[in-house]
Amino acid sequence: MCLGIPGQIVKIIDSKQLLATVDVAGVKRPVNIACIVDDTHPAESCVGDWVLVHVGFAMSRIDEEEAQKTLELLSELGEVQQEIEAMKESQTLLDS
Pick out residues in 7-46 that bind another protein (CB under 8 A). 17, 29-30, 32, 34-38
Stretch that binds another protein, among 7-15, 42-50, 58-66 (CB under 8 A): 58-66
User: How big is the chain by its Cα radius of gyration, in Å?
Assistant: 13
Distance CA 81, CA 68 (A): 15
Among 12, 23, 25, 59, binds another protein (CB under 8 A): 59
C-alpha 51: how far from chain center: 6
Between helices 79-95 and 64-76, what is the axis angle to 10°? 90
Name the site residues for another protein (rule: CB under 8 A): 1-4, 17, 29-30, 32, 34-38, 52, 54-57, 59-60, 62, 66, 69-70, 72-73, 76-78, 82-83, 86-87, 89-91, 93-94
